[in-house]
């Protein structure tokens, strides 16, 4: 287990759709999922992604793009056409709209202006595969802090060899299609992010770079594997296989903070999500993030988060969830 695993563990696609259609120019689709992340891959054809922030970006067949939300964005054949703007004739779509999972918002050609059944051998066919991610919880939202509004990975990633299979799943409609496409998109999201962080134009976070360090990398994995352990500087240095002073110096050089400060911040991020689980108590959450008693945990949580655990849960609970007590 490492920080990258933890940030993506709770991120799941809900509606991998939009295939078997021709987008006849002029066309523009505005995605209105309010999703924190949207993965887009044209299987055939191309288009332009127009994010809420930044410049339009051409997206060719096989290229994978991740758009950071939750603001709407547009996929269009012409980013400079009036229809790509707020006043143009844009069709609003959703990867996970109301109705049947996935297919309600974007699937097929039903009720779609400017979308027609493809004639045999048609050129210029655009088939877009997309999935929206709501990214619930504090842990995966840490990922959003290090992503640009729009990132694109060229057509040299893992989707390339499977493009034909993806299109078959989208257009043929075999049993279990939705769950298959959702899991494929989950895999593609992870691969795309991993490829992006390895590219020269990316600015990977310090913890991502530190994972490859022979001293700090094993310690980060140990912290994330067992945040409940009673870690000390000495025990963390033992994992690293170096002296305490050498370890502390190296950790601070790579991550910009002391090891135990990083551990506390990570524990409180986990705790923020655990407090939202039904039936969670202050004592149970404290134990799961490495505190022997609720008082010590509450003190640490308030110091890091600025509010007590009870106040945090009361301010973030669903309408039908009782206020946290004890």
Total number of domains constituting the chain: 2
pLDDT at 107: 40
Q: Is residue 322 part of a domain?
A: no
Domain boundary among 168, 197, 226: 197
Domain that holds residue 240: 209-316
Beta bridge partners of 214: none
pLDDT at 260: 97
Secondary structure letter of residue 323 according to DSSP: P
Q: Are 213 and 187 within one domain?
A: no
Q: Are 141 and 234 within one domain?
A: no
Q: Is residue 151 part of a domain?
A: yes
Q: Are 33 and 174 within one domain?
A: yes
C-alpha span between 93 and 16 (Å, rounded): 13
pLDDT at 83: 59
Domain boundary among 173, 197, 221: 197
Q: Is residue 312 part of a domain?
A: yes
The first and second tokens of residue 289, run together, are 């993030």
Q: Are 72 and 214 within one domain?
A: no
Compute mean pLDDT per 10 residues along the chain, 326 residues long, and list them: 66 52 70 84 87 87 88 87 56 51 33 33 66 76 83 73 66 68 80 86 86 94 93 97 97 96 94 90 95 94 94 68 33
Q: Are 301 and 152 within one domain?
A: no
pLDDT at 270: 92
CA distances from 190 to 32, 140, 195 (A): 23, 12, 9
On whether the CB atoms of residues 129 and 41 are closer than 8 A, the answer is: yes
Vertex 95, ends 103 and 11: CA angle to 5°? 120
Q: Is residue 250 part of a domain?
A: yes
Q: Is residue 95 part of a domain?
A: yes
User: pLDDT of 23-67, one tens digit each?
Assistant: 667 778 888 878 888 888 888 888 899 988 788 999 998 899 999
Q: Are 215 and 179 within one domain?
A: no
Secondary structure letter of residue 260 according to DSSP: H
Q: Are 25 and 107 within one domain?
A: yes
pLDDT at 168: 67
Q: Are 44 and 177 within one domain?
A: yes
Q: Are 71 and 177 within one domain?
A: yes
Q: Is residue 222 part of a domain?
A: yes
pLDDT at 53: 79
Q: Are 151 and 276 within one domain?
A: no
Q: Is residue 325 part of a domain?
A: no
b/e code 236-267 from CB counts within 10 Å (16+ = b): bbebbebebeebbebbeebbeeebeebbbebb
Q: Is residue 135 part of a domain?
A: yes
- Residue 292: which CATH number? 1.10.10.60
Before 70, cis peptide (omega within 30)?
Answer: yes
Q: Are 40 and 148 within one domain?
A: yes
Q: Are 223 and 191 within one domain?
A: no
Alpha helices in the chain (DSSP H): 3-9, 103-106, 138-144, 163-172, 177-197, 206-210, 216-225, 233-240, 244-255, 259-274, 282-288, 294-305, 309-316
Domain boundary among 166, 197, 228: 197
pTM summary value: 0.74
- Residue 16: which CATH number? 2.60.120
């Amino acid at each position: 287990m490492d920080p990258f695993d933890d940030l993506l563990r709770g991120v799941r696609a809900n509606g991998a759709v939009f295939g078997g259609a021709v987008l006849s120019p002029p066309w523009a689709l505005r995605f209105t999922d309010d999703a924190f992340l949207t993965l887009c891959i044209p299987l055939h054809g191309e288009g332009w992604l127009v994010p809420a922030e930044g410049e339009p970006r051409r997206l060719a067949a096989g290229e994978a793009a991740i758009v950071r939300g939750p603001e709407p964005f547009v996929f269009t054949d012409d980013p400079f056409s009036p229809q790509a703007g707020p006043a143009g004739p844009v069709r609003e779509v959703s990867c996970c709209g109301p109705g049947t999972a996935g297919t309600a918002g974007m699937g097929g050609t039903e009720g779609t202006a400017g979308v027609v059944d493809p004639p045999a051998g048609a050129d210029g066919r655009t088939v877009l595969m997309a999935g929206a991610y709501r990214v619930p919880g504090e842990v995966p939202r840490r990922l959003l802090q290090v992503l640009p509004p729009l990132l694109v990975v060229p057509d040299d990633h893992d989707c390339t060899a499977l493009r034909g299979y993806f299109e078959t799943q989208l257009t043929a409609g075999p049993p279990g299609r939705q769950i298959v496409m959702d899991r494929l998109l989950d895999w593609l999201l992870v691969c795309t992010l991993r490829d992006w962080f390895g590219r020269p134009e990316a600015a990977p976070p310090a913890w991502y770079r530190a994972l490859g360090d022979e001293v700090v990398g094993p310690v980060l994995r140990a912290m994330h594997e067992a945040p409940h352990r009673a870690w000390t500087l000495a025990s963390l240095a033992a994992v690293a296989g170096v002296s305490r002073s050498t370890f502390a110096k190296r950790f601070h050089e790579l991550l910009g903070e002391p090891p135990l400060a990083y551990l506390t911040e990570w524990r409180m991020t986990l705790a923020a999500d655990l407090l939202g689980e039904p039936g969670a108590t202050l004592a149970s959450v404290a134990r799961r993030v490495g505190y022997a008693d609720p008082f010590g945990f509450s003190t640490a949580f308030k110091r890091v988060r600025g509010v007590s655990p009870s106040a945090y849960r009361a301010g973030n609970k669903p309408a039908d969830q009782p206020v946290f007590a004890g």
